[in-house]
């Protein structure tokens, strides 16, 4: 394996900006989805707006390391740190970087990028501009003719209907849909990845060269699942998400308040479908109760069905073991759960099991090897001939 994507040192960075681990490209967080940039056909140039410590850099290049990548952040110290970090730990990973405001950079680079990844927020919340239609016009103008934007929208978790207003994801989608006719959306716990214009399976290609020699077995399969997520992602159309009628929460405090306001509805939905006498804690700690509640919620088409994947995976990122059985349950019940709702299975249940396995902050789970074997078969079944490693 070419080690240039990996570091021999036992590097781990975990901040509000980025999670980076020297031994893996993907860490089970939303920036993993930015790998779509390197899987889109005809991508030669890409830009990352909002760099943090560079968590998304190797993900963006995983499908094609020859992409010309530009990193932009308005924090000079982060740009300098990231440059030094990569020079020391990943010297084979190439990019150029610039300290600039994202909006100014876009206006100075019309028609420059085949893909722009947008990941702009801070410890206190969203910069105002991400909700302005003018910003998304600037993004579109900075793209090449068939270029695409891939956006990280943080906010409400997927089991709490993040596209229902008032929510930051709804507000970002609405601003984007003023510029593009449609967009794809990929849930990832408290984040939603939006891609505009919407993806079709034909837009995505296998990784270039033999990625199984460039990437570790686990990263290679994770990249395959991200491709499958992109190809399966549901589409939102202009006019399809309704008006908010009130301002979206955009500060961390206001977003948390909206999450807490919606939480009792989730608890009621889950406990009502678990078993008589089951409380929410029991529904999260006993596999049998989770199974019963999830099946009923899936049959009803309720977004609350994502409660177990999201909570199990969120716990794992904190090193908590109380839902350690999640991956084993998924592998045991794979075909039954998939038959209940194939989209939920790929976009939430399977993706969050892989996120649990990829986080460098959690445990090594006894079910990991089985999960990757089953994922490999799933990708081959989906027609990804390069997935068998």
Decide: is 359 part of the binding site for ligand SAM (CB under 6 A).
no
Taking residues 62 to 101 in sequence order and writing x for each that binds ligand SAM by CB under 6 A, - otherwise, the string is ----------xxxx--x----------------------x
Kindly state the helix (H) or strand (E) to which residue 146 belongs, with its residue range: strand 143-154
Upstream peptide bond of 207 is cis (omega within 30 degrees of 0): no
Cα distances (Å, whole numbers) of residue 244 to 170, 235, 239, 264: 8, 19, 12, 21
Decide: is 119 part of the binding site for ligand SAM (CB under 6 A).
yes
Token digits of residue 365: 């789970």
DSSP state of 204: B
| Pairwise CA distance, residues 176 & 302, whole Å | 26
Decide: is 51 part of the binding site for ligand SAM (CB under 6 A).
yes
The footprint of ligand SAM on residues 11-30 (CB under 6 A) is: 17-18
Minimum CB distance to ligand SAM smaller for 129 or for 340: 129
| Pairwise CA distance, residues 157 & 63, whole Å | 28
Decide: is 32 part of the binding site for ligand SAM (CB under 6 A).
no
3-class secondary-structure state, position 337: helix
Which member of 32, 33, 40, 55 binds ligand SAM (CB under 6 A)? 55
Nearest residue to ligand SAM by CB is 55
Binding residues with ligand SAM: total (CB under 6 A): 21
**Minimal distance in Å, beta carbon 103 to ligand SAM?**
7
Decide: is 33 part of the binding site for ligand SAM (CB under 6 A).
no
Residues linked to residue 70 through DSSP beta bridges, in sequence order: 47, 96
Decide: is 102 part of the binding site for ligand SAM (CB under 6 A).
yes
Place of tokens 């570790």: 216
**Minimal distance in Å, beta carbon 257 to ligand SAM?**
21
**Minimal distance in Å, beta carbon 68 to ligand SAM?**
18
Which member of 9, 96, 122, 181 binds ligand SAM (CB under 6 A)? 122
| Pairwise CA distance, residues 280 & 282, whole Å | 5
Burial of 46 (0-12, 13-18, 19+ CB in 10 A): buried
Contact yes or no for 174/236 (Cβ under 8 A)? no
The closest of 280, 341, 335 to 305, measured between CA atoms, is: 341
Minimum CB distance to ligand SAM smaller for 71 or for 283: 71
Query: Which span sits near ligand SAM by CB under 6 A: 121-129, 136-144, 181-189, 272-280?
Result: 121-129
Minimum CB distance to ligand SAM smaller for 59 or for 204: 59
| Pairwise CA distance, residues 104 & 113, whole Å | 15
Which member of 5, 26, 121, 334 binds ligand SAM (CB under 6 A)? 121
**Minimal distance in Å, beta carbon 205 to ligand SAM?**
23
**Minimal distance in Å, beta carbon 125 to ligand SAM?**
10
Decide: is 114 part of the binding site for ligand SAM (CB under 6 A).
no
Which member of 39, 120, 225, 311 binds ligand SAM (CB under 6 A)? 120
Contact yes or no for 90/122 (Cβ under 8 A)? no
| Most distant pair of Cα atoms in the chain: their distance | 61
Kindly state the helix (H) or strand (E) to which residue 315 belongs, with its residue range: helix 307-317
Q: Which residues bind ligand SAM (CB under 6 A)?
A: 17-18, 31, 50-53, 55-56, 72-75, 78, 101-102, 119-122, 127
């Amino acid at each position: 394996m070419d080690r240039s994507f990996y570091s021999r040192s036992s590097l781990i960075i975990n901040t509000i900006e980025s999670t980076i681990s020297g031994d893996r490209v993907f860490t089970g967080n939303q920036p993993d989805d930015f790998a779509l940039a390197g899987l889109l056909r005809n991508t030669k140039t890409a830009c990352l707006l909002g760099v943090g410590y560079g968590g998304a850099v190797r993900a963006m290049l995983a499908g094609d390391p020859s992409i010309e990548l530009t990193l932009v952040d308005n924090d000079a110290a982060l740009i300098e740190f990231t440059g030094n970090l990569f020079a020391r730990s990943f010297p084979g990973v190439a990019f150029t970087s610039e300290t600039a405001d994202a909006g100014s950079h876009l206006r100075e680079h019309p028609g420059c990028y085949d893909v722009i990844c947008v990941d702009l927020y801070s410890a206190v919340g969203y910069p105002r501009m991400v909700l302005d239609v003018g910003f998304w016009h600037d993004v579109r103008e900075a793209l090449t003719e068939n270029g695409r934007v891939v956006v990280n929208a943080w906010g409400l978790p997927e089991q709490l209907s993040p596209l229902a207003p008032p929510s930051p994801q709804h507000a970002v989608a609405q601003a984007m849909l003023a510029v593009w006719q449609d967009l794809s959306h990929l849930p990832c716990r408290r984040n939603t990845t939006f891609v505009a214009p919407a993806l079709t399976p034909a837009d995505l290609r296998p990784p270039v060269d033999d990625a199984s020699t460039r990437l570790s077995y686990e990263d290679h399969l994770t990249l395959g699942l991200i491709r499958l997520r992109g190809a399966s992602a549901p589409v939102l159309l202009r006019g399809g998400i309704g008006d908010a009628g009130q301002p979206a929460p955009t500060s961390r405090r206001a977003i948390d308040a909206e999450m807490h306001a919606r939480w009792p509805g989730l608890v009621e939905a889950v406990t009502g479908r678990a078993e008589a006498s089951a409380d929410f804690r029991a529904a999260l700690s006993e596999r049998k109760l989770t199974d019963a509640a999830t099946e009923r919620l899936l049959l009803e088409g309720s977004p609350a069905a994502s409660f177990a994947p999201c909570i199990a995976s969120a716990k794992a990122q904190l090193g908590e073991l109380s839902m350690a059985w999640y991956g084993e349950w998924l592998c045991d019940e794979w075909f039954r759960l998939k038959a209940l709702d194939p989209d939920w299975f790929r976009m939430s249940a399977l993706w969050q099991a892989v996120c649990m396995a990829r986080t460098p902050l959690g445990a090594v789970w006894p079910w990991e090897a089985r999960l990757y074997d089953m994922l490999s078969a799933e990708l081959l079944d989906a027609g990804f001939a390069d997935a068998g490693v």
